[in-house]
Amino acid sequence: MIKLAVLASGGGTDLQSVIDASEKNEIDAKVVVVVSDRENAFALERAKKHGIDAYFVDSKNKTREEHEKKVSEIIDKYNVDLIVLAGYLRMLTPYFISKYRNKIINIHPALLPFFSGKGMYGEKVHKAVLDSGMKISGCSVHFVDESIDGGPIIIQKAVEVKEYDTVKTLASRVLEEEHKILPEAVQLFAEKRLKIEGKKVRILPKA
């Protein structure tokens, strides 16, 4: 059973998907701590409801690295195996990424490498997809490296863009798939079936 730290800035529905999968014994992982950069993030309430330690770490009057050191101090107390970014809107510095190299995964609401990079998060992603005329969108789980949304991709799931989709309807269908592939990626990590080869992730067969 691996131990997870989850970083979240918002409502925490992706966090909830991992908690639910853990409580149903669908994954060999347990969320032991949740950290948010926003005091009113509902993700913190979700954690508390399930008896998970939850922390708000204020970023005011701190450099990005100073903020991350505070987050890191908390995470390190729990001896976690994997850090999951579930709607965490802060860009991580090389300090944090190198400290937890290949132990941080992120969920992104588009088919990477499309619709990624600075400023591409949440509804902005879905609006960009609709404005582009793309017929397919989806979501991706990837390892986090120094690039923005550019780390090796673990799993992707495609979603049809329908003729009369709005940002909200498309977001809703993509989110449904996020809630499936994030726990799946956690389980693959728990089973030690993810092998990073350059920019690619090879999924190894079950032992």
Which residues have a catalytic role annotated?
Answer: 108
- Using the predicted structure, report yes or no on whether residue 176 has a pLDDT greater than 80: yes
**Mean pLDDT value of segment 155-175:** 97
Tell me the residue ranges of DSSP E strands in the chain.
2-7, 29-36, 53-56, 82-85, 104-108, 136-143, 153-160, 194-197, 200-203
pLDDT, tens digit (0-9, with 9 covering 90-100), for 32-89: 999 999 999 999 999 999 999 999 999 999 999 999 999 999 999 999 999 999 999 9
Q: What is the pLDDT of residue 207?
A: 76
Q: How many structural domains does the chain have?
A: 1
Give 5's Cβ-side CA count (13 Å radius): 21
- Residue 55: domain span: 2-203
Structure confidence at residue 28 as a pLDDT band (50, 70, 90): very high
Mean pLDDT of the chain: 96
**Mean pLDDT value of segment 121-135:** 95
Strand partners, 7: 35, 85
Threshold 0.75, pTM exceeds: yes
Q: What is the pLDDT of residue 118?
A: 86
Cα-based angle 82, 142, 150 (whole degrees, multiple of 5): 125
**Mean pLDDT value of segment 10-32:** 97
Structure confidence at residue 119 as a pLDDT band (50, 70, 90): confident
CATH code of the domain in which 48 resides: 3.40.50.170
Q: What is the pLDDT of residue 206?
A: 87
* Residue that has been written with the tokens 């979603």 in this structure: 159
